[in-house]
A and B are shown apart, each in its own frame.
Chain A
Amino acid sequence: GENVEQHPSTLSVQEGDSAVIKCTYSDSASNYFPWYKQELGKGPQLIIDIRSNVGEKKDQRIAVTLNKTAKHFSLHITETQPEDSAVYFCAASRTQFYFGTGTSLTVIP
């Protein structure tokens, strides 16, 4: 099956700085890569996704890049705010979703 690795497991940044979270996957047939944000006591919420026919996607302060050759994709958050503090999960999918182990992001005011 697919194996998704996510780094770092924890990340602290100053408010206004950028945050980058990276994931690698093993199955070259995976074709959909969503990112989820999970706040304490809540379920994961989709924040951005990318399909294998696209190399980059941006939505305001959030962007995702995909390198199919290297089998890795990254989440970029610019101008971080305290409300960005949460756990972020990447996932890769072909027929099933496989999730990374999560990154706990803390934005320090």
Chain B
Amino acid sequence: NAGVTQTPKFQVLKTGQSMTLQCAQDMNHEYMSWYRQDPGMGLRLIHYSVGAGITDQGEVPNGYNVSRSTTEDFPLRLLSAAPSQTSVYFCASSPSRRVGFSNQPQHFGDGTRLSIL
């Protein structure tokens, strides 16, 4: 049982490049989310999904796309990277939404450290 797995752990991009941050969980969790963590700003929600085929925007969605084709995977796409997207990105998951996904503990991956030059 690996929990939440994020790849890659580190990445350096040039402005304008695109890339996909991968997130997979093996706990059969319905709720998955992406956060970015910047110094002095805590974690801010980018996008989230309450189940396969359903996604929604969080607090800071601009410049990011997501999709959820399976329960296990929730990739985050940067279509045209900008220096302002330099950050540490965390993926998290929670169990079934049937009892209210917002009221359950989230399990976090170890993050992807992204630098955009």
**A residues neighboring B (CB under 8 Å):** 1, 4, 6, 9, 31-32, 34, 36, 41-46, 49, 51, 89, 93-102
Contacts and interface: CB of A to CB of B under 8 A. Distances in A.
B108 A43 contact: yes
Give the dominant DSSP class at B's interface.
Answer: mixed
B42 A89 contact: yes
B53 interface: no
A51 B103 contact: yes
Interface stretch (B12-20, B43-51, B64-72, B73-81): B43-51
Contacts of A100: 42
A46 B106 contact: yes
Interface of B: 4, 33, 35, 40-45, 48, 58-59, 90, 92, 102-111
A43 B42 contact: no
Given A43-B90, A43-B111, A97 B42 contact: no
Nearest to B44: A99
Contact of B106 (A6, A95, A97, A101): A97
Nearest to A31: B103
A43 B108 CA distance: 6
A22 B66 CA distance: 34
Contacts of A93: 102-103
